[in-house]
Structure 1
């Protein structure tokens, strides 16, 4: 039992150091493209985020990444950020290429596509666990979902209806970033003109 307590204490000290370092940064925004770029429409999140990154000013106050993870692994990537925009392929009762913009709290079991083990959990549960352990996780998580059809066939190509909405989703992300930027400017006394 002593061994377990010592390991737990060492883990908590190590994590506290990482989390304190993250707390020292100004407001941070992360954009994540989720999916797998070699599984057809499942790669739409990556495609959108890569296009967004090309249009961001350099240097940017926004971090951009593409991931093929979910649950606890995804939660770990969100530590230290104030706001996160996730772009992902969705299986939904809507025409292929339909776009949904939701807050994480509006989804009952997000990240089910990206859970590869029965030992993992949804992003919501992972974030609850992370917060219980003291991780500084974003309160503001927006998910942009694109209705897809081909997510289990090997292909680097998107289906035509999904490919057609990529520019629209890029603009949605950029609009959301514009809103975030205006909020930060107003908070710091720099009104937009």
Structure 2
């Protein structure tokens, strides 16, 4: 029994060769179900979609979890909810030889602590716009472990959006690259700063986010397995994040649409960079 649970706890293979083509999370496929009596199989035959995960059962057979392109509830499938995520065997999919770059935009923060809810509000703002293929926008709030597990889902890039006191005027946006050593910003526009290195508060103190420290989340995720190679943190200087306020301050509220535009620009840059590398590289802790 112990061996069974050990096998069940193991991750599926990163990739499987189907008809001479490597298939992994993000690979595009065309569905060719074997069933003929199942109405759902008839409807899905010939449809194209994206492989969300590769699983292997106790007997060693591979199963590919696929979300279909024209499914209006595709985002539910990407969230691993039943009914919009379909499993097929290797001989039921036709690899198309393409792989969609996948980006996670994670809104972080406590909506009950005033400006600390900035990341959540940006995620809501982005979710109201048309969805960019391959990009998942998720409001994680203060659910740090949910974010840790999400980072294990074969994303090529991740953007964390959060409020962080850095000694700037309230509403100032800062883009951080936690994978690089701290160095002076090369580009900075009005109300925006671009830096690298792990985020820190005023006076070099560790980042304080009232419930979830994105740097600690990234470190824990890296200890569990590979994490996205491209990582950015979009921070906003709060006016106050320590009071039981239920709305953002005026300067931070004004920064929300600007931050959403900044995130969209970063998404496009990261997709382009990932595509140039074949969407394959992943960082390990």
TM-score range, shorter chain: 0.7 to 0.9
1:150 has 2:240 as partner: yes
Contact 2:238–2:252 under 8 Å retained in 1: yes
CA distance in 2, matches of 1:185, 1:138: 14
| Higher deviation after alignment, 66-75 or 150-159 | 66-75
1:167 has 2:251 as partner: no
- 1:34/1:115 Cα in 2 relative to 1: closer, same or farther (>3 Å)? closer
User: Structure 1: where are the runs of 5+ without partners?
Assistant: 189-193
1:130 has 2:216 as partner: no
Equivalenced residue count is 174
1:107 alignment partner in structure 2? 198
**What SS class does the counterpart of residue 118 from structure 2 fall into?**
helix
Alignment of 1:31-180 (within 5 A): 31-57=105-131, 60-69=133-142, 72-80=145-153, 81-105=155-179, 106-107=197-198, 113-115=210-212, 122-131=216-225, 136-180=226-270
User: Structure 2: where are the runs of 5+ without partners?
Assistant: 17-22, 27-98, 180-196, 200-205, 279-285
CA distance in 1, matches of 2:143, 2:167: 22
Question: What RMSD in Å do the two structures reach over aligned CA positions?
Answer: 3.2
Contact 2:107–2:140 under 8 Å retained in 1: yes
2:77 alignment partner in structure 1? none
Q: Deviations over 1:19-70 (max 9, x none)?
A: 7799432421111100022221011101111112222346x32111111236
CA distance in 1, matches of 2:175, 2:157: 15
1:16 alignment partner in structure 2? 11
CA distance in 1, matches of 2:242, 2:7: 39
**What SS class does the counterpart of residue 92 from structure 1 fall into?**
coil
**What SS class does the counterpart of residue 12 from structure 2 fall into?**
helix
**What SS class does the counterpart of residue 91 from structure 1 fall into?**
coil
Contact 1:104–1:141 under 8 Å retained in 2: yes
2:103 alignment partner in structure 1? 29
What is the TM-score normalised by the length of structure 1?
A: 0.74
**What SS class does the counterpart of residue 112 from structure 2 fall into?**
coil
What is the TM-score normalised by the length of structure 2?
A: 0.52
Q: Select the structure of larger CA radius of gyration.
A: 2
Larger % of strand: which? 2
Larger % of helix: which? 1
1:191 alignment partner in structure 2? none
- 1:55/1:155 Cα in 2 relative to 1: closer, same or farther (>3 Å)? same
Contact 1:104–1:110 under 8 Å retained in 2: no
Contact 2:105–2:160 under 8 Å retained in 1: yes
